[in-house]
Amino acid sequence: MKNFEVPIIYRSPLISAIKKKRQEVDKMKKDFSPTLLDFGPLQIYLARHFGFCYGVENAIEIAFKTVEENKGKKIYLLSEMIHNPQVNADLQNHGVQFLQDNYGNQLIPLESLTAEDIVIIPAFGTTLQLEKKLKQIGIQTEKYNTTCPFVEKVWNRSEQIAKKNYSIVIHGKPNHEETRATFSHAAINAPSVVVSDMEQAKNLASYILEEKSADEFYEEFKGQFSEGFDPKKDLQRIGVVNQTTMLASDTQAIADFLKQTILTKYPQQEENGAARFADTRDTLCYATNDNQTAIRHLLKTKADAAIVMGGYNSSNTSHLVELCEEIVPTYFINNEEKIINENKIIHYSLHQKVEIITSDYLTQNSPLKILITSGASCPDALVEGVINKLSSYFKLSTSVDEMIKQFE
């Protein structure tokens, strides 16, 4: 796999040594067991896979090279490069300006741009409509397009099944940048609708089975269907693709449920019913799959707590948190400074959508066992920062520097 030029501030000597060693002994990535960092009174279990993925490193490399090679020019990002506050802040400190917020609301009028300006398309991709507007201004985005290839894979898969007269059902968060981009690319080729979860999939099934009227569909799925969508006609043949960072198990469950709904609709023609549901391959990216699988293996370790690192608006990271919360007390943080001391931690609640403070988050167990992972847009340096912070509260039998040497 290609090695990217990512700023050294995002790298970690400890994590790099661990990942390199694991890769050397497990080239086929079949071993999903965690890595134990045994400091004596503190035992940290690192997930087998975590941190920057291919798409994120590619986007970061392009963005920082663009800044370096275009001094004096106005450089814009359509929205956040990735969902990590440190990376986005670093780009802004280098003079990069955001044109939109995460929900597509304009921060800087497109009318103020000129053909001489540079616009970077983030890893999530963008809509065809916005791309067209930029080209009308005279801005060429191809050179500065950091769209993740695994997001483009979803677009290609949508186009393939659209050519076979299937409508597209997208499992994703309707307001997420990637889902908006995927919807745009799907809708240009076929009738398309977004479902956010199983509950919405069940609601969609009622229209497949013609249990509800078209008027109810237009109200219930407002803002989530393509222009001219006819639920009676366009839900007879469907295929499911997804936002690449969703939970794999959720997407599979939705696809299985909708396929069964199609078969129920055509009970006398099971073979024909199957043909009405596109045989879509899984469109989750490799990193999402690997990280989620690694979490499930990490959670086989009986531990006192789990710490998940990443941006609070990161979809793939939030799903890792959800998996951990089912098993062990879990703390979702975006940097080591959220660890106030050995007694208090500030962490993000997915349920309350705010940061909260928890006391006595570290138990008195000896050794204390902590599970750690991070999302695909979280720098390894932040993970090492958490390890250093936690280890500072103990009299270690092995130092962090000595731990690095064990993996060299």
Catalytic residue set = 178
Which helix (H) or strand (E) segment holds residue 71: the answer is: none
Contacts of residue 364, defined as CB under 8 A and 6 or more positions apart, other chains included, come to none
Give the number of other Cβ atoms within 10 Å of residue 257's Cβ: 15
Residue 129's Cβ-count burial label (10 Å; 0-12, 13-18, 19+) is exposed
Q: Is the CB of residue 319 less than 8 Å from the CB of residue 355?
A: no
Among 41, 66, 42, 51, residue whose Cα is nearest residue 14: 51
Burial 141-160 (b: 16+ CB within 10 A, else e): beebbbbbebbbbbbebbee
The two tokens of residue 382 are 């932040």
Q: Is the CB of residue 120 less than 8 Å from the CB of residue 147?
A: no
Could you tell me how many residues make up the chain?
A: 408
User: Do β-strands 42-46 and 35-38 pair in parallel, antiparallel, or remain unpaired?
Assistant: antiparallel
CA angle 55, 186, 263 (to 5 degrees): 110
